[in-house]
Amino acid sequence: MQSRRNFIHQVAATAISLQLLPFTSWGKVPIQDGPVLRVAIMGLGGYATRVADAMQQCKRAKLVGAISGTPSKLTAWQAKYGIAEKNCYNYESFKNIKNNPDIDVVYITTPNALHHSQVIAAAAAGKHVICEKPMALNAKEGAEMVAACKKAGVQLLVGYRMHFEPKTLEVVRMRQDGELGKIKFFEGLSGFVIGDPTQWRLNKALAGGGALMDIGIYSINGARYMVGEEPIWVTAQETKNDPVKFKAGVDETIQFQLGFPSGAVASILSTYSVNYLDRFYLVGEKGYANLQPATGYGPIKGYTNKGELTQPHQTHQTVQMDEMAAIILDGKKPIIPVDGEEGLRDLKIIDAIYEAVKTGKKISLT
């Protein structure tokens, strides 16, 4: 983390000393004619930088603002991305964004526990909101966020980048068109060995849990759009081998099962203790689809009973932001929803998984 900060500061210093114009070394894609979604990113960490870099290739979305509690980050972002000082805020001055007509949407990439208050504040300021997943710590918070955005008349979208990924969408198309037949089974494997034990993702107050809230949500969401149904029950079991690193309320590994109305079932593993777990496997009566890696930054790889999936790789965040611009500006309907209600559905399942772990019971989702 420190090396990334140093790098950003070095880039900023170089740009200032050489009096570079914004984006001269970026090869930025020209914004196309027509309305453009003007975006401010809140929380300038590693993933925010990935989004900001990807947005330099967007045709419908433009990075115009930044919000951070660290003044040096705001200075660096102004230099690196050509952001006007008037479009930069700290967390105290953020409320003044309501008076800034140059910002359409706030993209929130802060720790999970901050999403609830920040989404509600952005909505109250009259700005559309994109919130990273999980949308909130629990379904209660999520419902309040959805309600606040509806009341304010703004859109709430969630950063489900896989909903726009071409190979993923091809598997969904095959399932929708009946090419796989009746779906019988889904397997999702989501895991990696987490590093720094002091990071916020291992802090229950900030993360709301452990692996399930970070990497496991990909398989929860994936089970829903791959099977094409909403689960009606869940069972779950937790394994914790390192109670020092994974303190109370921070899950290391959870295996869980979902049942669907059609009789299809899903078996999912979410863990912070095993690398190389990034796989979706969908089986129907007529065929199957395998994605591995299934949710990484790419390229996604996959094959079905009909052969290899060959759709070209595109940077996920670039595609996501252009597609979200079309949703907000044009009213486009995505193939797989990315709205607040979609985020809320995942949160209800997460709540039920934790309840199943705690009680050892099958938890109804209906």
Pairing of strands 265-271, 183-191: parallel
CA dihedral 196, 197, 202, 206 (to 10 degrees): -80
Tokens of 292: 């591995």
Active-site residue, selected from the candidate residues 81, 107, 218, 281 = 218
3-state secondary structure 61-123: EEEEEEECCCHHHHHHHHHHHCCCHHHEECCCHHHHHHHCCCCCEEEECCCHHHHHHHHHHHH
* Contact indicator for 240, 211 with CB cutoff of 8 Å: no
* Contact indicator for 252, 242 with CB cutoff of 8 Å: yes
**Cβ neighbourhood burial of 195 (10 Å; 0-12, 13-18, 19+):** exposed
What is the side-by-side order of every strand in the sheet holding 37-42? 88-89, 61-67, 37-42, 105-108, 128-131, 156-158
Residue 160 known to be catalytic: no
Active-site residue, selected from the candidate residues 73, 80, 127, 133 = 133
Question: CA nearest 130: which of 152, 151, 149?
Answer: 149
Residue 133 known to be catalytic: yes
Catalytic residues, by residue number, are 133, 218
